[in-house]
Amino acid sequence: MTNKDVVKFIKNAKNIALFAHKNPDPDAYGSMFAMREICRNLGVNADVFALRNSESNLDYLFPLNEVKTDFKAKDYDLVVIMDAHCVKRLAPIFFDEVEKSKNIIVIDHHEITEEESKCLASKNMLNIPHLSSICEILTILMRDHQLEITPVIATYLYIGLMGDTNRFLNSNLTPQVFDVAKILYEKQANIEFIYDVMYRSLSRKHLKAYQYFVKNLKLVENGQVVYTVFDLNTFKKLNLEHEDVKFSVDEMKNMKDVKVSFLFMEFEKNNYRVSMRSVNGFNTMICSGANGGGGHKLASAFDKKIKKSEIDRFVKLWGKKVVDGK
Ligand SMILES: [Mn+2]
């Protein structure tokens, strides 16, 4: 599928339901809300479906009170899934109804693992893994098809661009990323507002998380691999949500000589959401893919049933595989 096909699908629809992966991040929400505006400007109704995250700065960036959860396949003639390519990547409450939908298109930029290739949500897929973000894809699509980029749309898209490039720090940069930034800047993305919310909002709560993380991070493999664990007890004691501690996986990756970082967030007893980051092309998917997760070479995630006492051994094993590239 090409950009042109995406535009055709949208224009031919009357009612569009928009989805992205569970626990939506700035790129997921940015692309859903930008797409909602694109559709509405074309005279097509569109609704954003997501399970709201716990409270976070995303509440200030997007009108999350307008997000819907009660999706019924019969009410929509087109489903657009973005920032994911497999129905299993969506929040579980949507699985059944999305599976019933007859008309689904996918816009993604994730690597397709072997496991996921068995559960592609649609044959109509625009997947460009080397692009930084869905928001980059949508900006180019709008430019090439002369769709009006309003300041509101530009702001949504810039949020996603900042999220997935970690404000131009990640290794997923190409000349086109800067073209997109220029376009969105010229279309009056509210960059001051975005930076205030995303990067100048360190609260006391965040500092507590920071303090804990610095004190408890562990280096293995001669300092090439680093990890930190937030267990249920810590979340409760410090009154933190997952959103409050996610920064730590990037912070660890930015340490000198570190090649791979792991962040373990316990969400049920002995059940962890694990986020990984790497630098210089070390491939985190070696670990995330093998453990049933997904993402990109340099940033990926998976869920893991494990006891806290076994995490050190797990990280040594998989950290070494990633560093060795096998
Ligand atoms: Mn993304």
Distance between Cα 263 and ligand 1 center (Å) = 19
**Whole-number Å distance between alpha carbons of 7 and 29:** 20
Delimit the CATH 3.10.310.30 region(s) of the chain: 204-324
Q: Is residue 61 within 8 Å of residue 243, measured between CB atoms?
A: no
Centre of ligand 1 to C-alpha 86, Å, is 14
CA atoms within 13 A on the CB side of 318: 26
Show Cβ contacts of residue 319 under 8 Å, excluding neighbours closer than 6 positions.
Answer: 220, 221, 224, 225, 227, 260, 262, 287
State how far the Cα of 50 lies from the Cα of 17, in Å rounded to an integer: 10
Distance 269 CA to ligand 1 centre (A): 29
Least confident of 3-17, 36-50, 116-130: 116-130
Strand partners for 45: 15
With bands split at pLDDT 50, 70 and 90, how would you rate the model's confidence at 223? very high
CA dihedral (181, 186, 191, 192) positive or negative: positive
Report, as an integer, the average pLDDT of 310-318: 98
The CA distance from 121 to 2, in Å, is 17
291 pLDDT above the threshold of 90: yes
pLDDT, residue 281, reads 85
User: Where does the chain hold its CATH 3.90.1640.10 domain(s)?
Assistant: 3-198
Distance 276 CA to ligand 1 centre (A): 15
Tokens describing residue 194: 């975005």
> How does pLDDT run across 54-103, given as a tens digit for each residue?
677 899 999 999 999 999 999 999 999 999 999 999 999 999 999 999 99
Taking the domain 204-324, which CATH number applies?
A: 3.10.310.30
Give the distance (Å) from ligand 1 centre to CA of residue 307: 30
- Does residue 120 register a pLDDT over 70? yes
65-98: buried (b, 16+ CB within 10 Å) or exposed (e) per residue?
Answer: eebeeebebeebbbbbbbbbbbbbbbbeebeebb
Q: What percent of the chain has pLDDT over 70?
A: 99
Q: What is the pLDDT of residue 128?
A: 94
State in Å: Cα 202 to ligand 1 middle: 24
Please tell me the distance from the alpha carbon of residue 290 to that of residue 293, in angstroms, as a whole number.
7
Mean pLDDT of the chain: 95
- Between the CA of 257 and the centroid of ligand 1 the distance, in Å, is 26
SS (H, E, C) the chain: CCHHHHHHHHHCCCEEEEEECCCCCHHHHHHHHHHHHHHHHCCCEEEEECCCCCCCCHHHHCCHHHCECCCCHHHCCEEEEECCCEHHHCCHHHHHHHHHCCCEEEEECCCCCHHHHCCECCCCEEECCCCCCHHHHHHHHHHHCCCCCCHHHHHHHHHHHHHHHCCCCCCCCCHHHHHHHHHHHHCCCCHHHHHHHHHCCCCHHHHHHHHHHHHHCEEECCCCEEEEEECHHHHHHCCCCHHHHCHHHHHHHCCCCCCEEEEEEEEECCEEEEEEEECCCCCCHHHHHHCCCEECCCEEEEEEECCHHHHHHHHHHHHHHHHHCC
Query: Above 80 in pLDDT, residue 29?
Result: yes
Distance 237 CA to ligand 1 centre (A): 32
The alpha carbon of 158 and the centre of ligand 1 are apart by a number of angstroms equal to 12
- The rounded Å distance from CA 97 to ligand 1 centre is 23
pLDDT for the residue numbered 53: 66
Q: 3-198 — its CATH code?
A: 3.90.1640.10
